[in-house]
Amino acid sequence: MQKRKLGKSNLEVSAIGLGCMGLSFGYGPAVEKQQGISLIRAAVERGVTFFDTAEVYGPYINEELVGEALAPLRNQVRIATKFGFKIVDGKQAGLDSRPEHIKGVAETSLKRLKTHVIDLFYQHRVDDQVPIEDVAGAVKELIQEGKVKHFGLSEAGADTIRRAHKVQPVAALQSEYSLWWREPEQKIIPLLEELGIGLVPFSPLGKGFLTGAINKDTQFDKNDFRNIVPRFSPENRAVNQAVVDLVADFAKQKKATPAQVALAWVLAQKPWIVPIPGTTKLHRLEENLGAANVILTADDLRQLDEVTSKINIQGARYPEHLQKMVGR
């Protein structure tokens, strides 16, 4: 597995990481604990060194799973986790990025992750009640104390990134980016390039849609987040299938799978982009990691751009109450 550096930071990780959320949260029931541990350790055996979690996934159970799985391998890997949500009675209850809260989260996350340092600590969503300078300052203090190595932001807007970066250099921005969500190309990617910040795309496979494994008739589990996502309504899936069909046709030419082409496309955009596809299945993990060996030429990329730009993707990527929290 090739390595990449996230921007100008010295944070070097595998070119493809593992998003661990779906093992515990968001896409139906949590996997059995031993199954989750086995999958995470299988990823390390195959060269993955970058693992993404958050206190709110569960809450808490995903960090505990990642901590237990990686404890014996801690010196081989980099762990990213996140702060910024209020958790009341085991449920998400709004945002909280007050400095004292950030420091409290760091302490409890360190315990759950069974480690003495968090490699990358992201603000999960921008809290408009707390100046971003105060947030960056709190993480700067954690870095000075040796509890955190790098500061990250998730789904933040350009102005916020710039302001935060002045107080404490931002190593990485985590945001959705894929062949069917390209908005970051407008303002965010040029800004990251200017400031030397890495990009960590989550949902690089369009929450599974670009793999071709989902169609208009797919029934999601009752706890699956995609049930409330407008882009995943049956009628929008029917229209959006056109992009999947194009990727599948292209994948046949490359003797690859649609998922591998979608990930290879993300990797080809910039050398400081590290996608973190998630999965609960070993064969899907291996398929995703195989994308690192799919080489897309300039001509391939032009072709993919041409065909996908003609398709108007239908449906918002978040329901309205969640949409309000992004790009701030």
User: In this structure, what is the dihedral angle of CA atoms 79, 83, 86, 88, given to the nearest 10 degrees?
Assistant: 20
Residues 296 and 282: their CA atoms lie apart, in Å, by 25
CB atoms within 10 A of CB 289: 21
> At 92, is the secondary structure helix, strand, or coil?
strand
Please provide residue 18's backbone torsions phi and psi, each rounded to the nearest 5 degrees.
-125, 120
CA angle 158, 309, 293 (to 5 degrees): 85
CB atoms within 10 A of CB 93: 11
Residues 319 and 321: their CA atoms lie apart, in Å, by 6
- Active site (annotated) includes residue 27: no
Choose, from 27, 57, 122, 177, the residue flagged as catalytic. 57
> At 258, is the secondary structure helix, strand, or coil?
helix
Q: Is the Cα torsion angle 271, 276, 279, 280 positive or negative in sign? A: positive
Residues whose CB falls within 8 Å of the CB of residue 82, separated by 6 or more in sequence, listed in order? 53, 54, 55, 56, 121, 122, 123, 124, 152, 154
Token output for 303: 């072709």
Catalytic residues, which ones?
57
